[in-house]
Amino acid sequence: MKKNYCFILFFLALLSFGPLLAQETLIKGQVKDAKTGEALIGVNITLKDKVTGTTSDVQGNFVLKTKTPPPFTLIFSSIGYRMTEIEVSEANALLTIQLEEETLLGREIIVAASRYEESVLESPVSIERLGILEIRNTSAANFYDALRNLKGVDMGQQSLLFITPNTRGFNGNTNYRVTQYIDGIDNAPPGLNFPAGNIVGSSQLDVESVELLVGASSALYGPGGVNGTILVSSKNPFDYQGLSASLQTGAMHLGANYRDQPAGMYEFNLRYAKALNDRFAFKINFGYLTALDWHATDFRDNNNLNGPNADHNSSSGYDGVHTYGDESFADVDLSDDAIRIPTAEGYAAAQGFAPGTPEYQAAFQQAFNLFPTQSTVITRTGYQERNLADYNTESLKGGISLHYRLTENVEMLAQGGFGRGTSVYTASNRFSLVDFTLYSAKLEVRGPKFFVRLWSVGENAGDSYDVGTTASQINESWKTSENWYADFIASYTTARLLGNPQEVALISARYTADNRDANNNIINPTLPYRWLPGEPRFEQALNQITSRPVTETFPALETGNTIRGTRVIDKSQMYNVEAMYNFSDFFKFADILAGMSYRIYRINSEGTIFGDPLGDPHDIREFGAYVQVSKKMLGDRLKFNGTARYDKNSNFEGRFTPRASVVYTLDAKKRHFLRGSAQTAFRFPSMADQFTNLNVGIFQVIGGLPRFRPGGLAENPVYPLDSPNPITGQPDLSQDEYVFPEFRPERVVAWEIGYKGLFDKNVLLDFYAYYNTYNGFIANQAFGRFREDGSPEKFLSAVSLDQEVSAYGWALSLDYQGPRGYVVSGNIAYNELDRSNLPPGFQSRFNAPDYRTNISLSNRNVYKNAGFSLTWHWQNDFVWESTFGVGDVPAYHTLDAQISYKMSKLKTIVKLGAVNLLNQYYTTGFGNPEIGGLYYLSLTFDQLLN
């Protein structure tokens, strides 16, 4: 099969070959700065509508050879300068080109909206963009963090590196509704099914642009782009040559309540690219980052999130947000007769009284009355996340790319990439990702009008493990829950009989069961005692449990009872072939392009995450094809764009997703544009949506496929919980029995209107409003039933909602290009969910603030190569829903700032900056860590810096 793909690639390339023996035209010249007259190095000179090009040398000189006869157009472009087109009418011309600094707004050229180049002003849909200059001048620590400053973007941050951008609501730690492509390769690990931020993504130095297609985008980019698509484009080694390197060091955790002193952050990036001749070029990339990750320190009780941080001294049933092993697995309640009666009977018998005698009954009643009549749940003593997770975060990434220009119309490239990272991720539990690896390979043939790509992506979960379950297994290792609760109840009873109040008895009983006093000293060394972090037995148990897969059981260190490992295995892969061709040269009445894709997912977790037993991975196949027609009318003032796409997944029925848009130019100077669109998008249920089968203690997370549903539904049906929070919610028998709807792909119909206008060449206004209607909306339903003993059996499952779900909103941005290079920008966005149609116990996971806003002031050359940037962000509070829990996310604001200085002779930019300068700790989602200030200093060397 792979041989056939390679043959197709070469065959299509041969079809595009021009006359190889045509007479050669030689163009020479020099490129200068129009203001200073200085020679410009590294300017890209390309033949319009061709792949042929070259770059200027250190003196600004260039030589371009082409077999295309004059007349033709040359395009000159360089970072920070206005792109200039020059028509060449004769061979062997000698040119002197002067480039002006880019000062006008709205001149960016984008490709994401329509899969061909067009002005950002004329885009038929909402799109945001970061170019090289924006990345260089951002006050964020890196280009990916800078996405949070774009209009309408919400960022979920689960750790320093694990960041998930989203637009238009339904944010989540597992964000399946936004897709991310790097040079056409899907950056979502095939098992996770969503991009893991930029942990294993692009190197900072190799990014040319980031385009964010806001909202529905499945018509062109396939399943998953329900809320947006991110396209990251790297630098072509023909266009960006030479050596570049960056070193960044920073300080984190200032003023943190869990550390006495700050911790460092260090990052190094290297890129080298070289064109050996007019046809062959290569590039290599390397990046490494290490830091102490943000700590998760929310110690509120899950059962009382409105209260302050707590512990077991303040609540016997304490279940901390970021403490684990304290979940109510055994569901022991001291007010339960199943506890009170046997204990009272045992006490009476221990006094030597015979059952049925008055003495026995008096002793029984005495002990029975010592127990509380109100619910008093007892949980085991847990461990904090910082003692369980690997907070030594790392990111190692590298890549190589070989480019060969077969003709002036065709370029072939082979590319390989590798990334490995250590981070922390929030799902139904917190997971410590240790040496998580993603690798990719691509073979591509492309030209101005077409591309054919064959690529594959594979992942390896490395030594990653479930943090929450690890804590419970450590507890079972030093003393089984059965023995721990027995010791607790016996000690509680004794303390109460001695006349101690209930609060004292509860604390004393915990000391006895843990065999540790208030200062954590061992009470009785001859008996099992609770292991503390840092002690040899704790570390030994931690290593033993986290090094073995979830499916493996083994004897515990101390108790010898059977426990299981917590390491997750994921060796999933995906293979993809796709092609696109622009038929504009064949059809003059309209621009027509068409494309197709075929993808294979091979899901292999060896049963540790998904329902795929060892040796039986799941294969899922997807096919898609699309056609797009674009037509200009009314003297080119009205542009129509229509797209139709069909996709089929082997587990679900095929889906048809059309898109139609119009853009109307309001003025002759082409500075004011109205746009409107009706789009459809969809996503197939993710691998986790389909196949998850994970017991997290208090409830079980199950996939939406019918085989994972609870058994015995006819005899013992399930009911919605009275709360979407499965930790505190209970089966609501007053509701009708829960009936599972058909599990199917999620579809959205998105209506949007917008305006974009340029005033006086220095004020850019962009506005849009949208209304989305989701059908078959995939989210979580909490339901359960009661067992014969009266205890609840609770589940959280991915389901497709029968009712329609609607969301709407708007966004506005204003950019002002002031005198002397000052730029003032501001944006505000509003999102809202219509909750009137949601059933009880349903988690919509809208997870977005109503309002978020950004205001920035910058000047990249305020005085003699010195620049600065300030960005202020604010968003209001909102409710977060997830499998980890449900809770409020407070409003927060941040101020980012940087000052920079360009040392032209050294080809180096020095930047001193701060992300969250005021060090106001905040969180982006319930269960995620609090994020503080990051203060950094960076040096960036670029051999071709002007």
Instruction: Tell me the per-residue pLDDT of 472-507, one tens digit each, with 9 for 90 and over.
Output: 999 999 999 999 999 999 999 899 888 899 999 999
pLDDT digits (tens, 9 = 90+) for 535-565: 999 999 999 999 999 989 999 998 999 999 9
The single residue listed with the structure tokens 């089984």 is 480
Residue 287 has a pLDDT of: 96
The residues near 733 (Cβ < 8 Å, ≥ 6 apart) are 719
**What is the number of alpha carbons within 13 Å of residue 646 lying toward its C-beta?**
3
Q: Give 429's DSSP letter.
A: S
Q: Report which of residues 104 and 574 the model is more confident about.
A: 574
Query: How many CB atoms within 10 Å of residue 1?
Result: 8
Task: Indicate if the pLDDT at residue 306 is higher than 70.
Answer: yes
pTM for the predicted model, two decimal places: 0.89
- Rounded-to-integer distance, Cα 624 and Cα 339, Å: 60
Q: Mean pLDDT over all residues of the chain?
A: 90
Token pair of 852 as six digits: 């978020």
Strands (DSSP E) found in 583-684? 591-603, 618-633, 638-649, 652-665, 672-683
Q: Give 712's DSSP letter.
A: -
pLDDT band at residue 21 under the 50/70/90 scheme: very low
Instruction: Please state the rounded mean pLDDT for residues 848-864.
Output: 95
Cα Rg, the chain, nearest whole Å: 31
pLDDT band at residue 68 under the 50/70/90 scheme: confident
Residue 14 has a pLDDT of: 47
Task: Indicate if the pLDDT at residue 17 is higher than 50.
Answer: no
Residue 377 has a pLDDT of: 87
Task: Indicate if the pLDDT at residue 22 is higher than 90.
Answer: no
Query: What percentage of the chain has pLDDT greater than the value 70?
Result: 95
Phi, psi of 221 (to 5 degrees): -115, 5
Token pair of 754 as six digits: 């917008």
918 to each of 248, 262, 601, 665, 876, how far by Cα in Å?
20, 15, 45, 44, 18
User: At 689, is the secondary structure helix, strand, or coil?
Assistant: helix
Token pair of 149 as six digits: 């400053």
Token pair of 439 as six digits: 């690798």
Cα–Cα nearest to 552, from 535, 540, 572, 569:
569
Instruction: Please state the rounded mean pLDDT for residues 83-90.
Output: 88
pLDDT digits (tens, 9 = 90+) for 874-912: 999 999 998 888 999 999 999 999 999 999 999 999 999
**Residue 572 identity (one-letter amino acid):** S
pLDDT digits (tens, 9 = 90+) for 459-469: 999 999 999 99
pLDDT digits (tens, 9 = 90+) for 152-162: 999 999 999 99
- Which of 233-242, 604-613, 623-632 shows the lowest per-residue confidence on average (mean pLDDT)? 604-613
Q: What is the dihedral of CA 109, 112, 114, 118, to 10 degrees?
A: 0
Task: Indicate if the pLDDT at residue 112 is higher than 70.
Answer: no
Token pair of 744 as six digits: 């199917």
CATH, domain range 2-99: 2.60.40.1120
Whether omega for the bond prior to residue 533 falls within 30 degrees of 0, making it cis, is: no
The residues near 724 (Cβ < 8 Å, ≥ 6 apart) are 780, 782, 841, 842, 843, 881, 886
Token pair of 602 as six digits: 């091979």
Please give the angle made by the CA atoms of 912, 865 and 918, to the nearest 5 degrees: 25
pLDDT digits (tens, 9 = 90+) for 644-700: 999 999 988 898 999 999 999 999 989 999 999 999 999 999 888 888 877 766 788
Residue 23 has a pLDDT of: 67
pLDDT digits (tens, 9 = 90+) for 421-442: 999 999 888 999 999 999 999 9
pLDDT digits (tens, 9 = 90+) for 632-647: 999 899 999 999 999 9
- Which of 95-104, 300-309, 382-391 shows the lowest per-residue confidence on average (mean pLDDT)? 95-104
Task: Indicate if the pLDDT at residue 806 is higher than 50.
Answer: yes
Instruction: Please state the rounded mean pLDDT for residues 761-779.
Output: 93
Token pair of 396 as six digits: 């190692």
User: At 319, is the secondary structure helix, strand, or coil?
Assistant: coil
Task: Indicate if the pLDDT at residue 191 is higher than 90.
Answer: no
Instruction: Please state the rounded mean pLDDT for residues 590-603.
Output: 94
- Rounded-to-integer distance, Cα 567 and Cα 411, Å: 44
Task: Indicate if the pLDDT at residue 839 is higher than 90.
Answer: no
Task: Indicate if the pLDDT at residue 244 is higher than 90.
Answer: yes
What spatial distance separates the first Cα and last Cα of the chain, rounded to whole Å?
48
pLDDT digits (tens, 9 = 90+) for 689-700: 888 877 766 788
Residue pair 659/627 in contact (Cβ under 8 Å)? The answer is: no
User: Is residue 593 classed exposed, middle or buried when 0-12, 13-18 and 19+ CB atoms within 10 A define those classes?
Assistant: buried
If residue 486 lies in a helix (H) or strand (E), which one and from where to where?
helix 481-497
Cα–Cα nearest to 189, from 615, 685, 603, 744:
603
Phi, psi of 607 (to 5 degrees): 80, 5
- Rounded-to-integer distance, Cα 363 and Cα 346, Å: 10
Residue 20 has a pLDDT of: 45
465 to each of 205, 429, 436, 906, how far by Cα in Å?
32, 10, 11, 46
Residue 329 has a pLDDT of: 56
Residue pair 490/496 in contact (Cβ under 8 Å)? The answer is: no
> Mean pLDDT: which of 16-20, 383-387, 803-807 is highest?
383-387
Task: Indicate if the pLDDT at residue 115 is higher than 80.
Answer: no
User: At 116, is the secondary structure helix, strand, or coil?
Assistant: coil
Task: Indicate if the pLDDT at residue 825 is higher than 50.
Answer: yes
User: Is residue 36 classed exposed, middle or buried when 0-12, 13-18 and 19+ CB atoms within 10 A define those classes?
Assistant: exposed
**Domain coordinates of the chain in residue numbers?**
2-99, 300-387+468-564
pLDDT band at residue 18 under the 50/70/90 scheme: very low
